[in-house]
Amino acid sequence: MLHFIRDRAQGWIAWFIVALISIPFALWGVNSYVTGPSDTVVAKVNGDEITRSELLQAVQRYREQMREMMGEEFNPELFDNAEIRYAVIDDLIEQRLIRSATDTLGQRVSDRQIAQFIQQTPAFQRDGRFDSEQYQMVLARAGFTPAYYEATLRNDLLGQQLIQNVEGSTIVSQVEVERLLKLENQQREIAYGVLKLQDFLDQTEVEESDVRDFYNANQSSYTTPEQVSLDYLELSLETISSQMEVSDEQLQQYFIDNKIQFVGPELRTASHILINDNDEAEQILAEIQAKLDEGESFAELAKTYSIDVGSAASGGDLGPIQRDVMEPTFEAAVFALENVGDISEPVKTEFGYHIIQLTDIDQSSNVEFADVKDEVALQYSRQQAERQFYDKAEELANLTYENPETLDVAAETLALEIKTSGAFTRSGGSGIAENNAVVQAAFSDDVLNQDLNSQVIELSDTRLVVVRKNSHIAATLLPFDSVAPAISEQIRYQRASDLAYIQGESRLQELKAGTPAEEVFPDSWQAAAFYGRDSQEISAQILNQAFTLPNTGSAQYAGFTADNGNYVVVAVSEVKQGDTDNIEPEVRDGLVSNLIRLNGRAEMAAFINALRSEAKITIYESRVTSTEDE
């Protein structure tokens, strides 16, 4: 059982961190740099290999992202099948195609964009500010180095840039907008007649044999489901935190040991001129240096020469820079400059040659313990509570496993209260029974039939439970006599509705044959009036039926059984296209935005399909579906 915490430190904690730092391009091929349990090739895209380890880890990331989205409704069994693997491999192939397209198109993401994204990522911040140690700690826990993460991030942003460019190129014509507005604001002249179910009830008879036959054929509908109630132990980080007691001496020592976390980092503001690494680089660099020596403005030279489109327009300004964020060689050059205004020698990186000017140094002053005592107390208490939580979680797992027929030992050792849930069914209930994993455990063979403790169940990242059966109530068929009256009424109403349908269909044919509506429905025909799609003056079911009828220029008829069992005949005699002259500007703008978004998605889909059609793609199906090495 000692593997409990280790598994979770590498499992849900690590993936939670990955989810925090990931960008919307959720399944990007991160693992092209990482070795996994196997290097078996599962697919190729123009010769570029996708390995089995990459697929498995992408599937795992997808599961964890769905878990974050679905919360307690998440069921891991739904995300562990061949269909999911094929969907993920399809995404990985698509990402390879997009990455190749960005290379072909020569798209770039500047260092400044990378730095801004990293600094604005909440997972890398403390108290709303980017923190270098936090950044490195989060990446380390996720198994990344800064250089690897930044390279991956650059690929992700390039992919998003391509998608935005393609989707942003769509155009919506005024003709299209006008056509849709006319349809949206269309009005139809609608009349209708109703055959009420109640008018046919007297024509129906229900024998006891009918009721009994229905009861026997639908016993599942008249069976109270089995129920179970649970005893359980709950371990939560919140409870541990609330019980933490710390002394000033402990806090002061923690402050001394971790002072760097409470001292503002040195921030340097710099500008740069980026030049391509090609045959002309030496000549261009010399030309820039000569102009700098003549006193020309660094900012103006950046606007003229720099190929970094993200910063050139602002004179090469990269904004505040903190250690361990930028490309290492570039960053070393920035922090090697001693005085504001100093300009570096050309610095070569994978992106080209940089000339860097230091424009500002902001060295935050140190703080005293008294200034940050509350922050120190909060951080120290949280840290200690987390340690206790993980220690107790391991002990909870061990004790409930080693004493599988009781919760008493674990409860006494860990000072936890044994709680009892209310009864619930296989569909769940309230309290902990809202969690699908708890429900599954409650009705598992070990808990329900063998009277054993469950494994540790994660209600959330910081809340765990172990459950065992308290009581069980088997499913029970309700007595026939208790449900017979309700069944009899149900059969009567269904038969009455069937009679209304038969007569309604007959009257519908009369209307289509030309018989005046007032003769066909002498008592219930509603006179024609114009209604819009969203009218509140008429049944939504009637509106829906009327607006699905074709606009042929002549009267159209249709019939349907409404939700209440009545049969309704609908007539549409005239169609008026919507007036677009008085449409509010915000309504028109909203429609245009929606059309641009929809057309953009269609354009991107067409672009991906074109890439697929031109690519050589091979999928090794048996390797995709194989569970070996998991």
Side chain identity at residue 340, one-letter code: V
User: Widest CA span of the chain, in angstroms?
Assistant: 108
Q: How does pLDDT run across 485-543, given as a tens digit for each residue?
A: 999 999 999 999 999 999 999 999 999 999 999 999 998 899 999 999 989 999 999 99
Region 82-111 average pLDDT: 86
Tokens of 593: 């935005």
Which pLDDT belongs to residue 17?
38
Q: Which of 305-314, 379-388, 555-564 has the highest mean pLDDT?
A: 555-564
Element (H, E) at 4: helix 3-10
| Spatial CA neighbour of 194 closest among 560, 630, 529, 514 | 560
pLDDT of residue 240: 86
Question: What is the structure's pLDDT at 14?
Answer: 41
Looking at residue 235, what is its pLDDT?
Answer: 94
Rounded to 10 deg, the angle between the 373-402 and 3-10 helix axes is 130
From CA 278, how far away is CA 351, in angstroms rounded? 11
pLDDT of res. 22:
41
Q: Where are the beta strands (DSSP E) in 436-536?
A: 457-460, 463-473, 476-477, 526-532
CA 299 to CA 459: how far, in whole Å?
A: 55
DSSP letters of 332-380?
Answer: HHHHH--STT-BPPPEEETTEEEEEEEEEEEEPPP--GGGGHHHHHHHH
Angle between helix 111-120 and helix 146-167 axes, rounded to 10 deg: 100
What does DSSP say about strands 463-473 and 129-130: parallel, antiparallel, or unpaired?
unpaired
Contact of 181 with 588, CB cutoff 8 Å: yes
Q: Taking residues 258-284, what's their average pLDDT? A: 82
User: Which pLDDT score, from 0 to 100, does residue 4 have?
Assistant: 35
Average confidence score pLDDT of the chain: 84
Q: Which residues pair with 460 in a beta bridge?
A: 463
Burial class from Cβ neighbours inside 10 Å (0-12, 13-18, 19+) for residue 170 reads middle
| Amino acid at the residue 255 | F
Is the pLDDT at 33 greater than 50? The verdict is no
Mean of pLDDT values over 250-254: 81
Residue with the larger pLDDT of the pair 355 and 67: 355
Q: How confident is the model at residue 456 (pLDDT cuts 50, 70, 90)?
A: very high
Measured CA angle at 213 (ends 210, 219), to 5 deg: 135
Share of the chain above pLDDT 70, in %: 89
Q: How far apart are CA 630 and CA 628, in angstroms?
A: 6
Residue 11 pLDDT class (50, 70, 90 cuts): very low
227-241 per-position pLDDT tens digit = 999 999 999 988 888
Would you tell me the crossing angle of helices 298-305 and 281-293 to the nearest 10 degrees? 160
* Burial degree of 522 (CB within 10 A; 0-12, 13-18, 19+): exposed
Task: Answer with the residue of higher pLDDT: 328 or 396.
Answer: 396
What would the 3-class secondary structure string for 105-123 be?
HCCCCCHHHHHHHHHHCHH
Average pLDDT over residues 152-166: 83
pLDDT for 62: 82
**Angle at 89 (CA atoms; ends 88, 90), nearest 5 degrees:** 90
* Rg, Å, the chain Cα set: 35
Tens of pLDDT, residue by residue over 407-425, are 999 999 999 999 999 999 9
Rounded average pLDDT over 394-418: 94
**73 or 530, greater pLDDT:** 530
Residues 102 and 25: beta-carbon distance below 8 Å: no
- What pLDDT shows up at residue 31? 35
The per-residue pLDDT for range 332-389, each reduced to its tens digit, is 999 899 889 999 999 998 889 999 999 988 755 556 777 777 778 888 888 888 888 9
Tokens of 240: 């541990």
| Across 92-96, 247-251, 624-628, least confident range | 624-628
Please identify which residue in the block is written with the tokens 């960005």.
102
49-53 average pLDDT score = 88
